[in-house]
Structure 1
Amino acid sequence: MVIRSTEVIEAVSILSEQSGLQASMSQSLKGGLITGGVASFAALLLGPAGFALGGTVGGILATFVTKDKFVPVSQVLCEMEPRQKEMLYQSLNNFVTSLDATDAMQLVALIQGNEILKRNILNALTAFMRDNMNYHVYNSW
């Protein structure tokens, strides 16, 4: 049975929300630069112990600077242009063509029941967002 692209995107959105996937455009680099800069400065002042102290302080500072800059992947999926949604559907189509589902909820249930399939779909989603949309995706799975 052919599953509509909107149903696949909705199912992937639900899966990404359940998995806690977060996306960021450039906050990782900013956080790394803040942490590295503070650690280097502290090392200049305090010597080798400054790396440890500066890394800790820099990491805490970077956390506050980049806080709330991450958005759920499900939100990014909702805001995607139709052309991007179609490209995502094409990249996920190999995983879902053999599944017998008529709507997004059935599709989610089938995917949730197969951990390997779920991981493959989430990996494909992460790769798509990285390669085609320049997002960094972070997960808790």
Structure 2
Amino acid sequence: MPVDGRELIKAISIIANERNVKVTMKQTTKGAMVCAASAFAAGILLGPVGLAIGGTAGGLMAYKMTNGTFRPLADVLLNDLNDDQQERLVRHVKNALAEFAISDLAMLLPLLMNNANIQQAVLKTVTSFVSNELRCQIID
């Protein structure tokens, strides 16, 4: 029985949940810029005390702006990928697993769930795919 792409993505999602891998849509950069700009502006106006005040205020603003924008990788894989992206991801994962000589789903799922080397190879491939294709940052 050949590997079903949807089942493979569900298995990858389980592993991503177990490892608590999260993604963000470039919100980290925006938050850092807000924090830095706030610290800079307050530092210019108030000197060293302004740096502390501005950094704190900027950090709180960045928190408010980015709160809720970090999502589990599993959620992104299951809900945000269109059919073409799912097919490309499955192809990338199958290529990554080619060295393990796994040809069907009955062999793949138990190995994927229990073998740390295979999990690492799959997660590396998936995080690379998500970073390059979806332009997300990975937080693990």
Global fold match (TM > 0.5) = yes
Instruction: Note the alpha carbon deviations across 1:95-118, whole angstroms, 9 max, x for none.
Output: 3342476359x62x4234333332
Structure 1: gaps of 5 or more residues:
none
State how far apart, in whole Å, the 1-side matches of 2:49 and 2:117 are.
Answer: 44
CA change 1:66–1:103 in 2 (3 A) is farther
Give the corresponding residue for 1:132.
133
Aligned position for 1:84: 85
Q: Which runs of 4+ in 1 moved over 4 A?
A: none
**RMSD between aligned residues:** 2.4
* % identity of equivalent residues: 28
Tell me which amino acid in the other structure corresponds to 1:38. S
Q: Residue 46 of structure 2 aligns to which amino acid in structure 1?
A: L
Q: What TM-score do you get using the length of structure 1 for normalisation?
A: 0.81
Taking the aligned partners of 2:132 and 2:118, their CA distance within structure 1 comes to 21
1:102 aligns to what? Answer: 105
The residue aligned with 1:7 is 7
Decide whether the 8 Å contact of 1:39 with 1:54 is kept in 2.
yes
| Unmatched runs of 5 consecutive residues or more in structure 2 | none
- What is the TM-score when the length of structure 2 is the normalising length? 0.81
The answer to whether the 8 Å contact 1:23/1:135 transfers is yes
How many residues in Structure 1 have an aligned counterpart in Structure 2? 137
